Amino acid sequence: GAGVSQTPSNKVTEKGKYVELRCDPISGHTALYWYRQSLGQGPEFLIYFQGTGAADDSGLPNDRFFAVRPEGSVSTLKIQRTERGDSAVYLCASSLGLGDSNHGYTFGSGTRLTVV
Amino acid sequence: KQEVTQIPAALSVPEGENLVLNCSFTDSAIYNLQWFRQDPGKGLTSLLLIQSSQREQTSGRLNASLDKSSGRSTLYIAASQPGDSATYLCAVKGGTSGTYKYIFGTGTRLKVLA
C-alpha cells in the first residue's frame, strides 16, 4: 500500500481481556517495527522483524506481549490479560531493509489502546 | 546503552522567529539520525534523515545538522509559522551494539503563536 496502515485506530478493552493490533506495512518493505508511546513520552521500542522472523524482541515488557508476522508482510501484536498500564498508543513502522543501515522509518498512525 | 535527550522540552515562540531544537545522544557510533514531527493524536511524520557520513540535510525551511563525534544534532526551523506547532522527535539508529532499531528522545513541544 501507499503507507503503513494500522487497525483499529482506537481500541477500548476491559482489564484482563485479550487484544490484537494489526499493522500492514508498505509493500516491499521487509523490516517492520513495533513501538509503544505513552503520553508525553517518546516512542519506546518493542520488537522488530526482518521478513517473518523477530530479529530483536528485547523491548517486549513481559510474556503477555507477543507479535507475529507469518508471511513477512502483515504483523499482529497480541496482548494477553491486558492491564491498565498497557494503555498507550501502539505504533508500527516499516523500512526497506533491516540490514541496510541507511534507511529511515515510515510510521503508521497508531492504535490507541485504552484498558478500563 | 544509547540514550537520547532533547532540549528544550517545550518552546513557545511568536510567528516568524527562527528557532533551534537540540538533540544529544550518548553513543556516537550511529548509522543515521532521523527527525520526526508528531501532531496531537497522530502518528510520526519523517522530516529529515541524516546518514552518519553527512553533516546536514535541508528540506524547505528545515535544516538538520549532525556532529556525530560530539553526539549532537540540531533542527533549525526558519521563519516559523503557526502550522509548525507540533512535537518534534529525534531518533538515532545504531550505536556500538550495531542495533537497527531507533532510539527516541522525549521530544520538544513547539507552539508558534500567530
pLDDT tens figures, B47-56: 999 999 999 9
B100 and B94 in contact (C-beta within 8 Å)? yes
A56 touching B, CB under 8 A? Answer: yes
CA dist., res. B28 & res. A52, Å (int): 31
Spell out which chain B residues touch chain A, with contact meaning CB-CB distance below 8 angstroms: 4, 31-32, 34, 36, 41-46, 49, 51, 89, 91, 93-94, 99-107
Give chain B's mean pLDDT. 93
pLDDT digits (tens, 9 = 90+) for A24-58: 999 989 899 999 999 889 999 999 998 888 889 99
Alpha helices (runs of H) in A14-115, residue ranges in sequence order: none
Shortest CA distance from B102: residue in chain A: A45
Q: Does residue A110 sit at the B interface (CB-CB below 8 Å)?
A: yes
Residue B2 has pLDDT above 70, yes or no: yes
Give the pLDDT score at A96: 84
Which of B43, B91, B106 shows the shortest C-beta gap to A108?
A: B43
**Structure-block grid coordinates of residue A14:** 476491559
Closest of B82, B70, B81, B73 to residue B104, by C-alpha: B73
Question: CA-to-CA distance for B15 and B10, rounded, in angstroms?
Answer: 16
The mean predicted confidence, pLDDT, of chain A is 92
Spell out which residues of chain B touch residue A91, defining contact as CB-CB under 8 Å.
43-44
Task: Compute CA distances B70 → A12, B19, B25, B79, whole Å.
Answer: 44, 21, 9, 28
- What is the rounded distance in angstroms from the CA atom of residue A3 to the CA atom of residue A25? 7
Contact across the interface for B100 and A45, Cβ inside 8 Å: no
Give the pLDDT mean for B12-17.
96
